[in-house]
Every structure is written in C-alpha cells, then in structure tokens.
Structure 1
C-alpha cells in the first residue's frame, strides 16, 4: 500500500516539475537572442528531461509493474490510451528540440557560437508539448475518478 502511494505521489509531483520545466524552457527559447540565454535554457531542459524520465519510470511501474490495477485494465481504459497518445506525441515533438539543444551544448563546450535561429520554432513545439502535458493530467485525473467506458462514466 505504501509503495503504491509513494509511486503515485512521485508521479504526480513529476507532472508539476515537468510543467514548470517545459514552460521555463519554452519561455527561454522564445526570448533567445544570444548565447547568454543558453544557461537558463539548458537548466530548464535538464529539468524537463529529468522529470520526463521520472514520469515514464513511475508511470510504467504503476501501470505494468504490478503496483496498481495491472496492464489488462490500463490497456482497455480509454483515458489511459489518451494519456499514452499524448505522451507519444510529446516524445515525437521532442526529437527536434532535443537534437538542437545537444548541438548547442556541444558548440558551447567547444567555444563555438551555436546557430540559434531555430529557437522560435522550438518554442512553438514547447507550447504544443505543454498543451499535451495538460491533456495527460486531465486524462490521469479522469482515470483516478473512474471516468471512462469501463467505469460507466458520470
């Protein structure tokens, strides 16, 4: 019982950290005009990546690790499928910003000036990711309250 509670708490806290991090990174990318803006963007990106790992690990443990209702329940739960669809979209959208930020980090380490012209595009991607993260929270809270086809809805 205690482990289920702790996993749920860590999972929910990770959503808060993820939201704060993606909003901070998006704001930094939107305002990015020089390499002086990069330390804050890199810091926010680290938070975004770390919270994503925590979300994925704790979510997988809860859904498929025998700590909650079990995989058969989740696989047939419509809101879980919405949540996983949003996660897949977030991860697909993350490919371009992640690759750019890796290139920027390497350029800064080499003492080069990275090409920051893509920053506005990555900020737009971040706005979509923020929306999808909110969709995940809405789906999760609906599941927690028994809303869905299996529970009969409300």
Structure 2
C-alpha cells in the first residue's frame, strides 16, 4: 500500500518536473542566438531527460510491476491508450531535438560553434510535446477516476 502510494507520488512529481523542463528548454531554444545560450538549454534538456526516465521507470512499475491494478486493467482502459499514444508521439518528436542537442554538445566540447539555425524548430517541437504531456496528465486523471469505463450512455 505504502509502496504503491510512494510510486504514484514519484510518478506524478515527474510529470511536474517534465513540464517545467520542457518549457524551460523550449524557451531557451526560442531565444537561442549564440553558444552563450546553450548552458541553460543543456541544463533544461538534462532535466527533461531525467524526468522522462523517471516517468518511464515508474510508469512501467505501476502498470506491470504488481503495484497497481495490473496490466489487464490498463490494456482495457481507453485512457491508457490515449496516454500511451501521447507518450509515443512525444518520443517520436524528441528524435530531432535530441540528435541536434547531442551534435551541439559535441561541437561545444570540441570548441566548435554548432549550427543553431534549427533552434526555433526545436522550440516548436517542444511546444507540441508540452501539449502532449498535458494530454497525458488529463488521460491519467481520467483513468484514475474510471471515466470512460462502463459509463451509462
């Protein structure tokens, strides 16, 4: 009981950190004009990555680790499918910014100036990821309240 509660709490807190991190990274990317802007972007990106890792680990533990209702419940829950679809879209959208930020980090480490022309595009991607993260929260809260399951018409 206590472990389930703590796991759910960490999972929910990770959503808050994820939201703050993606907003911070997107704002930094939107304002990015030189390599002087990169430390803030890299820091926010680290937060985004760490919070995503915590969300994935705690989510898998909750859904399939025997801490919650079990996989059969989640697989039959419509909002779980919404949540997972939003999650997959976030991951797919993350490919381009992640690859660019890796290239930028390597360039900075080598003492080179990275090509920052894609920064506004990655900021827009972050805005879409923010929307999808919010969709995930709404789906999770709907799931927790049983909305969509066996509701009378």
* Band of TM-score, shorter chain: over 0.9
> Counterparts in 2 of 1:135-150, with a 5 A limit?
135-149=135-149
C-alpha distance in 2 between matches for 1:78 and 1:123:
30
2:33 aligns with 33
Runs (4+) of structure 1 exceeding 3 A deviation are none
Two-structure CA RMSD over aligned residues (Å): 1.1
Segments of structure 2 that go 5 or more residues without pairing to the other structure are: none
1:91 paired residue number: 91
Q: How many residues align?
A: 153
Task: Note if contact 1:146-1:153 (Cα within 8 Å) is conserved in structure 2.
Answer: no
CA distance in 2, matches of 1:31, 1:123: 9
In structure 2, the partner of 1:7 is 7
Q: Deviations over 1:5-48 (max 9, x none)?
A: 00000000000000000000000000000000000000000000
Establish whether residue 152 from structure 1 lines up as the match of residue 148 from structure 2.
Answer: no
TM-score (norm. length: structure 2): 0.98
